[in-house]
Structure 1
Amino acid sequence: MARLDVNRFGEMEVFVKVVELGGFSAAARAFRMTPSAVSKLVARLEQRLGARLVNRSTRALQLTPEGCGFYERSVRILGELDEAERGAAASDEPSGRLRINTNPAFGRCILIPLLPGFFARYPSVTVDLTLTDKLIDLLDDRTDVAIRHGQLKDSQLTARRLGETRMVIVGSPDYLKRQGVPKTPGELASHNRLGFSYARAIEGWPLTESSSQLSLSPVGNIQASDGEALRQLVLAGVGLARLARFQVKDDLDEGRLVAVLEEHNPGDTEVIHALFLSQGGHLPARVRAFVDHLTTHVRLP
């Protein structure tokens, strides 16, 4: 059993701050301590644990493997302690900072329009929103909820299905006037097919022809890192792209883009999930409220 005179939560808080701020001096300023006091506290922690947590040098501080593991667990434990205190003080009313990561297309078309309603219901929650197609580690990036498309990999994350969306090949009227409207998959060979610059679960464009399935690679003069960039390129008349229908619905309805080869579209869809960490069944009230808000209000065309 731990000694009562050892403030283990205090040690964790200081150690976490040292890691996040990158050094003893910065952590000392945050806690209004001296760098020497912070250094001695970390040294006592290492002695008590019987493991070196950080490698010290004059230029930088580097975590050992044991330090990485202790940091990750400390962040989780301190977060749960914060939630417990907020729950006891405010009947578990959702509050605090909610860190959300999603791709730019879903953020622009679906998520951002739903935020005003969420804030109206939960005014004590603040949102830190990151829009990127780059896959992240929720624990490493301290993200509460990530929105992801496509097949999920096995992981320790909890997933809530938000819906699914059809994929569609689109081009601008100006581009199609210049290059012609493709009538068969084979005619795509003469078109500028824009694609993504990162690996995807389905790399090619699935199409059907005479009851056969085929896949064409998006070989063009531009590859982009996110779907919103591809949409802007297509709107500018650069080429064709295969995008989620929800992303281009307004463009199609208002004539800014035109869907092509729909009779050869296999009707494949991408499932969209909200992913989050749920350790031991524990879920912060702000995360539960946000995921519930998404599952209730997300509507995908």
Structure 2
Amino acid sequence: MSSVESLSGLNAFVKAAQLGSFVAAADRLGVSASAIGKSVARLEASLGVSLLNRSTRSLSLTEEGLLFFERSQRIVAELEEAEEELSRLMAAPRGRLRLSFPAIGYRLLLPLLPGFTARYPEIELDLDFNDRLVDVIGEGYDAVLRSGEFADSRLKARRMGGFRFRIVGATGYFRQHGIPQTPADLAQHACLLYRFSGSGQIQPWQFDTSHQARPLSLTGPLVFNNLEAQISAARRGLGVIYVPDFAVKEYLEKGELRSVLDEQISAGGQFSLLWPGNRHLLPKLRVLIDYLAEHIELSK
């Protein structure tokens, strides 16, 4: 007898014993009286004892049935309580979500938090902003935001939008040093470069040549492994940087930074939210995915 059949038989037995008949138990469980009788009979066969005395008018517990009933009804009651608790959990978004974002991801997420927490006050967000490539399943994350391609069949994904790279510098820097008209002009400018922490490689600056993105090798006075520090240096007029557009959006809108050579740059990337595919999509995660997809503002 399978574990599922055992639970079904246990529930049928408890309800029949509590209500005194197979018919009443059947009404309570929404099945036929014969189904209740067969479930109890299979349970008795698997246990090797008779649990109920049957007559045409009523049921009564045998001595063994009474002993079994005392324990069984507690088990059934706990199962029913667990089902009710799970139903409440599934009915309303609540609980803790552990999320991982790129280090610069706070620029995407933080403006959205007031609206999200106001709409879903019972969801607790545990946020990790880190450029380390985390193991989503192994480290117990509910979801992660990543850019680029991924090849993990254990994960499901939803695209959040794309971004483009921009070359930007402080308006004061360009007043002093002039505005580059071609990628080759950047050789006369202070290019602030970015080094990937994982590989140690310098990020190439991609420019369109004959409708293809080609990297341009550059040197510069400063190299960073932190995007925030790189942006801060550009804001202080130390040089120009090659960064995702969303990372400098507010400074471009304020006029603090200016982008150049836009028509010669189409390189960009794609953000996706990933989550374990072997888990049921709980309401708390479903509403987060929908909210981010609706509100994250990236290049279309």
Coarse TM-score class (shorter-chain normalised): 0.5 to 0.7
Q: 1:200 Cα shift?
A: 9.7
Instruction: Please give the per-residue CA displacement for 1:173-195, whole angstroms capped at 9, x wherever unaligned.
Output: 22223333211111112323223
Match of 1:138 in 2: 136
SS at 2:127's partner residue?
strand
Specify the SS of the correspondent of 2:165.
Answer: strand
**SS state of the match for residue 105, structure 1?**
helix
1:151-190 alignment runs, 5 A limit: 151-190=149-188
Contact persistence 2:145–2:273 (CA under 8 A): yes
Task: State the Cα deviation string for residues 136-192 of structure 1 (Å, max 9, x = none).
Answer: 111233221111122223442111101111211101122223333211111112323
Q: Give the aligned partner of residue 268 of structure 1.
A: 267
Aligned-pair CA distance for 1:290: 0.7
Q: Tell me the residue number matched to 1:204.
A: 204
How far did 1:216 drift?
1.2
* Amino acid corresponding to residue 255 of structure 1 in structure 2: G
Question: What is the deviation of 1:202?
Answer: 9.9
Say if 1:105 and 1:227, in contact at 8 Å, map to a contact too: yes
Name structure 2 gaps, 5 residues minimum: 4-81
**Amino acid aligned to 1:295:** A
- The 5-angstrom pairing of residues 1-301 of structure 1 reads 86-108=85-107, 110-198=108-196, 199=199, 203-209=203-209, 213-265=213-265, 267-279=266-278, 282-301=280-299
Distance 2:83 2:205 in 1: 48
Q: What TM-score results when the alignment is normalised by the length of structure 1?
A: 0.64
Report the identity percentage: 34
What code does the residue aligned with 1:272 have? Answer: F
8 Å Cα contact 1:97/1:126 also seen in 2: yes
Q: Secondary structure at the match of 2:145?
A: strand
CA distance 1:295–1:282, shift in 2 (3 Å): same
**Residues 260-291 of structure 1: CA deviation (Å, up to 9, x unaligned):** 112322x2221111111121x51232212211
Residues 87 and 93 in structure 1, CA contact (< 8 A), matched pair in contact too = no
Query: Where does the alignment leave 5 or more consecutive residues of structure 1 unmatched?
Result: 4-82
**Larger Cα-atom Rg:** 2
Give the letter aligned to residue 174 of structure 1: G
SS at match of 1:195: strand
SS of residue in 2 equivalent to 1:99: strand
> CA separation in 2, counterparts of 1:84 and 1:139?
26
CA drift of 1:2 comes to: 11
